[in-house]
């Protein structure tokens, strides 16, 4: 009924369809506004009607988060697409939120720049920033929060706002872009971003180092501190534990580092494509699996690793980023949450993927400690009527 | 920002005009703060160079009374001038503090006693020698320990700093002239210093030997007087100027190429004396021109023994001294005279001598002239920081080229139970280049 | 003595509380001397508990408070109007250094350079290096999201802060972030860093320590004018080189520096000097040095020197870092501007800035982080000359408008403070500012924590009225 009312106000932007499952919730409509003004209009009416929306981009990470509390429609930014300002002499670009990463990469790559967001190509820029997720290359590229110079955001009320700017250094007012990045669309819908690009490295090499399970973490930590290293993955998924490294930079430095790794660690040359395959492993999760991410300081990494191994998890680590990924079978779900919390210790953990029924009654973002009241108050301050992605974010807000 | 009416200075003090002018060079950037020992101890802006300059300016403009907080702060300042090294605007802070001290009144008896001593005892060689005779007698009868316990706390601490006073034959003025060894490279004057002559005559002797071994004829005019440093630091600018003028005349008449000092404080005073004499020259219309000229002669010719030897080049052969040495910069050498590398280079030339780094060698040790008498608490706190860094480095010898620092560090090291001995760098150079002949008189 | 002062003294002890008018005088201003404000009191707490007690006492007496570090800030962010200054200088312990986790836990009063000094033996350093690093505190750096010459490659403070211990304006403590930098929930560390002390009082921070680069080369290129140096910067960026720092010093600044204790032997007849620092794997540097050298030459550099040793490198940098204070020699007062423009537009904006300075008959010089497009037009003046002061303020505003028109912003590293609060409307709409107010109200609903800073009161934006900003007040004269 309210869908009809909303459709009456916004017209064809809203399309009703067969119910699609979003983490256990059936959603029967999708809005695809053509621009930020369209999103603004839509949200103004939706909030007046007391409706709730799940913002999304390419939907590659649509299952990331807590169970939605309620949702009347999906709000897609897919039609907000393209790079409308890119100066190759500047190394910054203004990109619409729905733009796919692979499209953006192709466009700026032609001029010698790269996008410091390490997620698979089909992901949208908006999705990458809203989830704040990253692959192992964040070690060399930095985190998504560091790549964002400015954001355009539509608040739940439909108000369009901007924070940051196109310049590479800026302390004009509060750094709201940090707050929006990784907020899973719960404070506002991202419609465009100014990104800081990086010079594409002149040379890249991949190497693999076979290691014994017992000292795998130690070797990975040692190796991951090397210069010219942009990514390091400790993988157990193929033939035994392997430390994979990707070197990037000027050719002489990359060559020297590669020679040193071959000499000191008996590293073997690998194809960049093989490394890419390993780098993608973090995103996989079977239907009958749970995937956790843990952030554990290097000093505790080895003990967390062996504890998770003993608990029967399949493991992957990005040691340079202090991140461990652990997969558990759905049958071991109950104990998995206990083991993961224990392994994380004073660190942090997230359940990144799990069947909806496992998420029931849990907060997949782990424990927020003393921050919870502030996080709740922020959500209330920006979206008092819980229009945007209610229930999905940390603290189930 | 709130709107308030501009504060127009109504009571500008004419006698503070010079202070106001100099203070305008400060742009309030704050780079001096972390260099200031009293700021680091207290964390108070009021006890920082920038804060004090702010107060000076306020006093000059009649916003505050000079004799209150500003007077306290002007005397809480160690005068180490580490802030001058840190200051990118080249504010002459040491001068500002001396000018301020000369224009504020301190409360209490101690400042008056101090002024009396500085005018009537320190610059009068015969009286000073007799005073040290008395001290020696007390030390030898161990009566001083008994008397010491009756003294006010401040003087008790001062007593603890004093090393044993040597007998008459082992102290006093060096001989008037010492011939060079080997080919003559020049003729230099030597400022013997008050404390150096009485308590560190052996360092004076070592200095003369080292100069002579390097081919310099050394003249020690017996009519020379006190350098005026302590008086100037205490705010007695005019008296300091008189003392400097005397020395300028004496050394200029001796026809020397340079005036050498082995006390950083005396050396800095000679180099600053151009400013003092220019000041008093302004006041004395007739002889003013003359005073200013002789002041600049002294300032141009004064050299610390380490920078002089480093400039001229060391010639004498050096024997190995297997010692671990921490070189600690006297403030009046590194900050007031900008001499940092020279003593290190000289020490490094000694075979097997290892210069051991320690934290913040350029930070004040808290001695600062008579500071440990007037501000014992702050002096102790500042010394503790220095001792922490020396304890961590654990050297055999701490080398430093200023009598106040040598006494302060020696007392501190022994109180902490640290094994390191304190030496003047010249003593190490002397030892390595032949030392004193066994059993020879002090000035042989 | 008032009840407030009694409560403050019981919170921090008698020696930790300053309240006599003379004692408060030096706290009238920070590194910005254009305006001044009288604080109610200054407290010097030694611990988080003492900070909490002070904050609670302030609340009881309905007095606001202002956190302060070394007072080197250049936007008037640390001045207090009838408020209590919480001076963090006594909270100066490095609580922990962990070379394995590559973090340090520091109190807010630790001096930036002291942290790097304390970890150098581990081969590590704290990368952000504001020009005032010898004196400025990390607490101040957190508040301002301080930059510095090496921001170009290593990012500003925000990128190096992993966690914060924050006393909220109600006196409660929250732990933000984590030792790894990853924390669930909103990025509150990211929001608090750069909030200019308006969201609470930071009592400890966990910061990232970075390996000291394997090798460093520092180049000094001499240009006939500032515009050709800017073109060289643009050329270097377009070529895809990422030096650690790209700094331009103009002629007037060179002359001031050479007359100060930081003299570095720069030629005083050069139109501009470009300082380029390249770091990274030793093998890569030779190629990059040649590339930079070539680009500088093609833009008209008359000479390109490479520092022969560390001493020479330090000397190049001393000249750059001491430039601000050295400007004090040009005139009694100095107004240091801070604005950012897109890097590619540096030459035209610089031209415009110089034209503005000439039109207002001002002594204007430029020393800036050219690689970031971060301009620092410095105006030397004498505030006792009312007409000149008015011209300084008018030129300052025009410079900001010029930068904003070129796609830039009004501050890149000094912060908004009280100086630029009323210019926020040049960059942001009322709706944008409202979003910032929402953030502030969550942390400080009663507006007691460093009030009157950063955000203009609604409908008061962009009023370039010096009276409204208190600049008609002259603190010293």
The pLDDT value given to residue C464: 41
Minimum mean pLDDT among B125-129, B386-390, C30-34: which range? B125-129
C470/B1 Cβ within 8 A = yes
With a cut of 80, say whether residue C404 has pLDDT above it.
yes
| Helical pair A2-10 and A36-48, crossing angle rounded to 10 deg | 140
The pLDDT value given to residue B122: 81
* % residues pLDDT > 90 (chain A): 94
CATH number (domain holding residue B84) = 1.10.1060.10
Q: Does residue C264 carry a pLDDT above 80?
A: no
State both tokens at A185: 């669309």
pLDDT of B158 reads 66
Full residue range of the structural domain in which residue B358 is found: 317-432
pLDDT of residue C476: 37
**pLDDT for A155-170, tens place per residue?**
999 999 999 999 999 9
Q: Considering the domain boundaries, does residue A382 fall inside one?
A: no
**In the prediction, which pLDDT does A188 show?**
98
pLDDT tens digit string along B6-49? 344 557 888 899 899 999 889 898 999 999 999 999 999 999 99
The residues pairing with A74 across neighbouring beta strands, listed in sequence order, are: A30, A54
Q: State mean pLDDT over B273-286.
A: 66
The mean pLDDT of chain C is: 91
Is C241's pLDDT higher than 90? yes
Rg (chain A; Cα; Å): 22
pLDDT score of C408 more than 90: yes
Do the first three CATH levels of C1-212 and C214-414 match, i.e. the same topology?
Answer: no
Write out pLDDT tens, residues B347-361.
Answer: 999 999 999 999 999
The mean pLDDT of B181-197, rounded to a whole number, is 92
Give a yes or no: residue A90 inside a domain. yes
pLDDT band at B290 (very low <50, low <70, confident <90, very high): low
Q: To the nearest whole angstrom, how far is the Cα of C110 from the nearest Cα of chain B? A: 10
Q: In the block, which residue shows the tokens 């200019």?
A: C196
The Cα B121–Cα A231 span in angstroms is 74
Q: Are residues A155 and A144 in the same domain?
A: yes
Nearest CB neighbour to C25, from listed B29, B43, B55: B55
Q: What is the pLDDT of residue C465?
A: 42
| CATH at A102 | 3.30.465.10
CA distances from A348 to A133, A216, A296, A333, A368 (A): 14, 22, 7, 18, 9
Residue A293 lies in a domain: yes
Co-location of A247 and A270 in the same domain:
yes
Query: Does pLDDT of C459 surpass 70?
Result: no
Residues of chain C with Cβ-Cβ distance to A200 below 8 Å are 240
- pLDDT grade, residue C267 (50/70/90)? confident
Q: Is the pLDDT of residue A298 over 50?
A: yes
Predicted confidence at residue C472, as pLDDT, reads 40
- Look at residue B309 and tell me if it is in a domain: no
Tell me what the mean pLDDT of segment A256-270 comes to: 95
Tell me if A36 is assigned to some domain: yes
Residue B237 lies in a domain: no
Structure confidence at residue A267 (pLDDT):
95
Residue A393 lies in a domain: no
Q: Is B228 a residue whose pLDDT tops 80?
A: yes
Q: What average pLDDT score do residues A245-268 get? A: 95
* pLDDT (0 to 100) of residue B152: 65
CA A104 to chain centre: 17
Put simply, the answer to whether C26 touches B91 (Cβ < 8 Å) is no
Q: What is the pLDDT, as a whole number, of residue C22?
A: 95
Q: 3-class secondary structure for chain A?
A: CHHHHHHHHHHHHEEEEEEEEECCEEEEEEECCCCHHHHHHHHHHHHHCCCCEEEECCCCCCCCCCCCCCCCEEEECCCCCCEEEEECCCCEEEEECCCEHHHHHHHHHCCCEECCCCCCCCCEHHHHHHHCCCCCCHHHHCCHHHHEEEEEEECCCCCEEEEECCCCCCCCCCCHHHHHCCCCCCCCEEEEEEEECEECCCEEEEEEEECCHHHHHHHHHHHHCCCCEEEEEEECCCCCCEEEEEEEECHHHHHHHHHHHHHHHCCEEECHHHHHHHHHHHHCCCCCEEEEEEECCHHHHHHHHHHHHHCCCEEEEEHHHCEEEEEEEHHHHHHHHHHHHHHHCCCEEEEEECCHHHHCCCCCCCCCHHHHHHHHHHHHHHCCCCCECCCCCHHHC
CATH number assigned to the domain with residue range C1-212, chosen from the 4 options 3.30.750.24, 3.50.50.60, 3.30.465.10, 3.40.640.10: 3.30.465.10
pLDDT tens readout for residues A164-188: 999 999 999 999 999 999 999 999 9
* pLDDT band for position C191 (cuts 50, 70, 90): very high
Residue A390 belongs to some domain of the structure: no
Q: Per the CB < 8 Å rule, is C261 touching B24? A: no
C214-414 belongs to which CATH class? alpha beta
**Burial class for A278, CB neighbours closer than 10 Å (0-12, 13-18, 19+):** buried
ipTM confidence score: 0.96
A96 and A194 in a single domain? The answer is yes
Enumerate neighbours of B (3 or more CB pairs within 8 A).
Answer: C
Q: Assess whether A194 and A212 both reside in one domain.
A: no
> For the segment C166-180, what is each residue's pLDDT rounded down to a tens digit?
999 999 999 999 999
Dihedral sign for Cα C240, C243, C245, C248, please: negative
Touching chains C and A? (3+ Cβ pairs < 8 A) = yes
* 8 Å CB contact of C175 and A370: yes
pLDDT for C468 beyond 60: no
Task: Report whether pLDDT(B305) > 90.
Answer: yes
Q: Tens of pLDDT along A344-363?
A: 998 999 999 999 999 999 99
In which band, very low, low, confident or very high, does the pLDDT at C473 lie, cut at 50, 70 and 90?
A: very low
Percent of chain B with pLDDT over 70: 87
C476 in contact with A at a CB cutoff of 8 Å? no
The residue of chain B with its CA nearest to that of C455 is B1
CB-CB: which of C70, C260, C322 is closest to B30?
Answer: C70
Kindly state whether residue B125 falls inside one of the protein's structural domains: no
- pLDDT at residue C155 above 80? yes
Q: Which of A146, A172, A225 sits opposite C411 (nearest CB)?
A: A172
Look at A326 and B374; give whichever has higher pLDDT. A326
Instruction: Tell me what pLDDT residue A6 has.
Output: 94
Residue B362, pLDDT above cutoff 50: yes
Taking the CA of residue C71 and the nearest CA in chain B, the distance in Å comes to: 7
pLDDT over threshold 90, residue C322 = no
Tell me, yes or no, whether A184 and A221 share the same domain: no
In the predicted model, what is the mean pLDDT of residues B222-228?
A: 91
| A115 and A170 assigned to the same domain | yes
This prediction's pTM: 0.92
Task: For residue A267, give its domain range.
Answer: 203-281
How would residue B282 be classed by pLDDT, with cut points 50, 70 and 90?
A: low
**C208: pLDDT strictly greater than 50:** yes
Is the predicted pLDDT of residue B3 greater than 60, yes or no? no
Question: Chains B vs C: touching, with 3+ CB pairs under 8 Å?
Answer: yes
Q: Tell me the C-alpha distance between C57 and C62, whole Å.
A: 8
User: Would you report the helix, strand and coil content of chain B in percent, each value rounded to 5?
Assistant: 55, 5, 40
Instruction: Give the CATH number for residue B352.
Output: 3.40.50
Per-residue model confidence as pLDDT tens digits over B84-143: 988 888 899 999 999 999 888 776 777 777 778 888 888 888 888 888 888 888 787 776
Q: Residue A183 phi/psi, 5° resolution? A: -95, 5
Asked if the structure places residue B302 within a domain, the reply is no
Q: How many domains does chain A have?
A: 4
Confidence of residue C460 (pLDDT cuts 50, 70, 90): very low
- Under the banding of pLDDT at 50, 70 and 90, the label for residue A128 is very high
Residue A88 shares a structural domain with residue A176: yes
Residue of C nearest to B56 (CA): C26
Mark yes or no for CB contact C369/A178 under 8 Å: no
Whether the CB of C203 is below 8 Å from some CB of chain A: the reply is no
Domain edges within chain C: 1-212, 214-414
Q: Which residue of C has its CA nearest to B69?
A: C22
Residue of chain C whose Cα is closest to the Cα of B84 = C261
* C236 to chain B, closest Cα gap in Å: 30
Interface probe with A: pick from C96, C185, C368, most Cβ of A within 10 Å: C185
Domain boundary among B73, B103, B133: B103
pLDDT over threshold 80, residue A25: yes
Q: Please check whether residues A169 and A211 belong to one and the same domain.
A: no
Please give the mean pLDDT across all residues of chain A: 95
């Amino acid at each position: 009924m309210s869908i009809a009312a909303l459709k009456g106000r916004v017209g064809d932007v809203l399309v009703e369809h067969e119910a699609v499952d979003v983490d256990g919730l059936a959603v029967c409509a999708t809005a695809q506004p053509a621009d930020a003004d369209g999103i603004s209009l839509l949200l103004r009416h939706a909030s007046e009607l007391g409706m709730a929306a799940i913002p999304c981009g390419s939907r590659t990470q649509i299952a990331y988060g807590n169970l939605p509390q309620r949702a009347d429609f999906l709000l897609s930014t897919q039609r907000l697409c393209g790079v409308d300002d890119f100066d190759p002499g500047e190394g910054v670009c203004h990109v619409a939120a729905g733009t796919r990463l692979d499209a953006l990469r192709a466009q700026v790559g032609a001029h010698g720049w790269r996008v410091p967001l390490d997620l698979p190509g089909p992901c949208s820029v908006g999705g990458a920033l809203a989830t704040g997720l990253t692959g192992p290359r964040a070690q060399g590229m930095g985190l998504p929060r560091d790549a964002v110079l400015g954001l355009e955001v539509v608040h739940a009320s439909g108000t369009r706002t901007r924070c940051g700017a196109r310049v590479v250094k800026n302390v004009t007012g509060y750094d709201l872009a940090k707050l929006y990045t990784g907020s899973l669309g719960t404070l506002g819908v991202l419609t465009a971003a100014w990104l800081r690009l990086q010079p594409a490295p002149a040379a890249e090499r991949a190497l693999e180092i076979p290691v014994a399970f017992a000292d795998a973490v130690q070797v990975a930590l040692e190796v991951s501190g090397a210069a010219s290293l942009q990514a390091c993955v400790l993988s157990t998924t193929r033939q035994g534990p392997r430390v994979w490294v990707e070197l990037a930079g000027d050719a002489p430095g990359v060559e020297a580092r590669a020679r040193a790794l071959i000499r000191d660690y008996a590293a073997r040359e690998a194809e960049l494509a093989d490394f890419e395959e390993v780098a993608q492993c973090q995103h996989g999760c079977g239907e009958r699996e749970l995937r956790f991410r843990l952030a554990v300081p290097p000093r505790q990494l080895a003990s967390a690793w062996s504890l998770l191994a003993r608990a029967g998890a399949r493991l992957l680590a990005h040691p340079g980023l202090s991140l461990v990924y652990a997969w558990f079978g759905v049958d071991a779900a109950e104990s998995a949450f206990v083991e993961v919390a224990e392994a994380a210790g004073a660190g942090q953990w997230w359940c990144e993927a799990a069947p909806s029924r496992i998420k029931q009654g849990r907060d997949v973002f782990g424990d927020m400690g003393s921050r919870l009241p502030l996080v709740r108050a922020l959500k209330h301050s920006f979206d008092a009527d819980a229009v945007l992605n209610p229930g999905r974010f940390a603290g189930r807000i | 920002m709130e709107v308030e009416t501009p504060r127009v200075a109504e009571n500008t003090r004419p006698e503070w005009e010079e202070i106001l002018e100099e203070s305008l060079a400060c742009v309030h950037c704050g780079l001096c703060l972390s260099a200031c020992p009293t700021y680091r101890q207290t964390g108070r802006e009021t006890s920082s160079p920038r804060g004090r300059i702010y107060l000076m300016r306020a006093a000059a403009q009649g916003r505050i009374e000079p004799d209150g907080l500003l007077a306290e702060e002007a005397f809480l300042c160690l005068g180490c001038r580490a802030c001058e090294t840190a200051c990118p605007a080249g504010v002459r802070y040491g001068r500002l503090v001396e000018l301020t001290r000369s224009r504020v009144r301190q409360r209490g008896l101690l400042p008056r006693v101090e002024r009396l001593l500085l005018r009537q005892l320190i610059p009068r060689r015969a009286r000073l020698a007799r005073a040290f005779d008395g001290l020696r007698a007390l030390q030898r009868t161990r009566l001083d320990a008994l008397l010491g316990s009756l003294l006010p706390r401040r003087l008790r601490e001062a007593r603890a700093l004093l090393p044993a006073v040597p007998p008459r034959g082992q102290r006093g003025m060096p001989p008037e002239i010492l011939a060079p060894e080997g080919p003559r490279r020049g003729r230099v004057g030597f400022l013997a210093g008050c404390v150096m002559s009485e308590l560190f005559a052996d360092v004076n002797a070592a200095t003369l030997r080292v100069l002579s071994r390097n081919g310099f004829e050394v003249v020690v005019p017996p009519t020379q007087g006190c350098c005026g440093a302590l008086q100037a630091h205490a705010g007695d600018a005019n008296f300091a100027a008189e003392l400097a003028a005397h020395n300028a005349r004496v050394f200029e008449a001796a026809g020397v190429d340079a005036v050498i000092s082995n006390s950083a404080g005396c050396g800095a005073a000679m180099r600053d004396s151009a400013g003092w004499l220019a000041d008093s020259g302004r006041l004395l219309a007739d002889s003013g021109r003359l005073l200013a000229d002789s002041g600049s002669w002294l300032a141009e010719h004064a050299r610390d023994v380490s920078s002089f030897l480093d400039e001229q080049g060391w010639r004498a052969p050096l024997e190995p001294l297997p010692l671990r040495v921490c070189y600690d910069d006297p403030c009046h050498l590194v900050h007031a005279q900008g001499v940092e590398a020279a003593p290190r280079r000289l020490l490094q030339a000694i075979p097997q001598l290892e210069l051991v780094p320690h934290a913040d060698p350029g930070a004040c040790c808290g001695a600062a002239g008579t500071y440990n008498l007037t501000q014992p608490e702050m002096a102790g706190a500042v010394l503790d920081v220095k001792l922490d860094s020396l304890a961590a480095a654990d050297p055999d010898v701490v080398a430093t080229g200023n009598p106040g620092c040598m006494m302060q560090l020696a007392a501190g090291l022994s109180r902490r139970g640290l094994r390191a001995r304190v030496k003047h760098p010249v003593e190490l150079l002397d030892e390595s280049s032949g030392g004193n002949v066994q059993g020879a008189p002090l000035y042989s | 003595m008032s009840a407030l002062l009694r409560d403050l003294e019981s919170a921090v002890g008698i020696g930790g509380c300053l309240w006599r008018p003379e004692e408060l005088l030096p706290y009238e201003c920070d590194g910005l001397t254009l305006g001044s404000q009288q604080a109610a009191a200054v407290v010097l707490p030694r611990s988080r508990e003492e900070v909490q007690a002070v904050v609670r006492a302030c609340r009881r007496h309905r007095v606001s408070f202002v956190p302060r570090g070394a007072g080197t800030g250049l936007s008037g962010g640390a001045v207090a109007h009838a408020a209590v200054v919480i001076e963090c200088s006594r909270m100066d312990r490095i609580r922990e250094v962990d070379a394995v986790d590559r973090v340090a836990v520091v109190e807010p009063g630790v001096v930036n350079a002291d942290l790097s000094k304390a970890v150098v033996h581990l081969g590590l350093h704290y990368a952000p290096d504001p020009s005032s690093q010898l004196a400025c505190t990390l607490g101040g750096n957190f508040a301002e999201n301080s930059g510095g010459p090496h921001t170009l490659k290593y990012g500003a403070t925000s990128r190096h802060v992993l966690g914060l211990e924050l006393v909220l304006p109600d006196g409660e403590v929250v732990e933000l972030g984590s030792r790894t930098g990853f924390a669930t929930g909103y990025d509150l560390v990211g929001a608090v860093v750069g909030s200019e002390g308006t969201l609470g009082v930071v009592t400890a921070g966990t910061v990232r320590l970075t390996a000291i680069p394997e090798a460093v080369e520092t180049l000094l290129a001499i240009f006939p004018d500032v515009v050709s140096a800017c073109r060289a910067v643009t050329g270097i960026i377009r070529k895809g080189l990422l030096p650690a720092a790209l700094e331009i010093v103009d002629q007037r600044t060179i002359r001031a520096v050479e007359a100060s204790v930081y003299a570095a032997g720069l030629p005083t007849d050069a139109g501009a000097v470009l300082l380029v620092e390249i770091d990274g794997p030793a093998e890569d540097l030779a190629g990059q040095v040649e590339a930079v050298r070539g680009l500088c030459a093609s833009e008209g550099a008359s000479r390109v020197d490479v520092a022969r040793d560390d001493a020479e490198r330090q000397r190049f940098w001393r000249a750059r870092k001491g430039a601000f204070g050295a400007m004090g020699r040009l005139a009694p007062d100095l107004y240091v501007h801070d604005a950012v423009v897109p890097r590619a537009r540096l030459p035209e904006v610089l031209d415009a800035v110089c034209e503005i300075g000439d039109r207002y008959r001002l002594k204007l010089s430029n020393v800036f982080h050219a690689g970031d497009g971060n301009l620092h037009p410095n105006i030397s003046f004498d505030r006792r000359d009312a007409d000149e002061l008015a011209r300084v303020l008018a030129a300052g505003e025009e410079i900001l408008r010029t930068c904003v028109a070129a796609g830039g912003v009004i501050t890149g590293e000094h912060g908004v403070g009280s100086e630029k609060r009323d210019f926020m409307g040049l960059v942001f709409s009322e709706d944008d500012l409202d979003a910032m107010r929402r953030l502030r109200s969550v942390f400080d609903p009663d507006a007691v924590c460093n009030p009157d800073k950063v955000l203009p009161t609604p409908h008061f934006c962009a009023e370039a009225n010096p009276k409204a900003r208190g600049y008609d007040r002259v603190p010293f004269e």
